[in-house]
Amino acid sequence: MVRVTAAVLDRGGQILIAKRRQGARLGGLWEFPGGKIEDGEDPRDCLARELHEEFGIAAEIGEFLVSHVHHYPHISIELLSYRVAHVAGEFELRDHDEVRWVRPEEMGAYEFAPADLPTVEFLQAACSRHKAAQGG
């Protein structure tokens, strides 16, 4: 099983999602950016490294949010999602065709890679709980 990290970058209630490059495996699907944890690497260090490699940004890795296992035909992965804050740098598209900032309740309009769907559901449930607690 391969362990993979995912970033939940929040900007004013909107979350960054990235569209996988056409021609790559799962190309054209949306995901939370991140990548494979190397042997002996801390998941938070991995996520900071991947965000720098994929977008050229510096990020502060915050709280762990959720993990789950997904079995693709070609690989099984454990996806670890973390809340992330953008610290510095302009976003450059190095590994993705597009990025968007969307609210959790808007994520249903995007076709996500299957392994990312539990994180989408986690964020949507958290958003619903927050709105209910606010009386809305």
Q: What is the per-residue pLDDT across 3-54, written as a single tens digit (0 to 9) for each?
A: 999 999 999 999 999 999 998 888 899 999 999 999 999 999 999 999 999 9
How many angstroms separate the CA atoms of 84 and 9, rounded? 5
Structure pTM? 0.91
The count of domains in the chain is 1
Angle at 133 between CA 83 and CA 33, to 5 degrees: 20
CATH at residue 12: 3.90.79.10
Q: Are 99 and 93 in contact (CB under 8 A)?
A: yes
Domain that holds residue 94: 2-133
Model confidence pLDDT, tens digit, residues 66-106: 999 999 999 999 999 999 999 999 999 999 999 999 999 99
- Beta strands (DSSP E) in 14-136 are 14-20, 30-31, 34-36, 58-71, 76-88, 96-102
- Predicted confidence at residue 103, as pLDDT, reads 96
CB-based contact 9:72 (threshold 8 Å): no
* Backbone dihedral region for residue 126 (phi beyond 0: left; psi -120 to 50: alpha; all else: beta): alpha
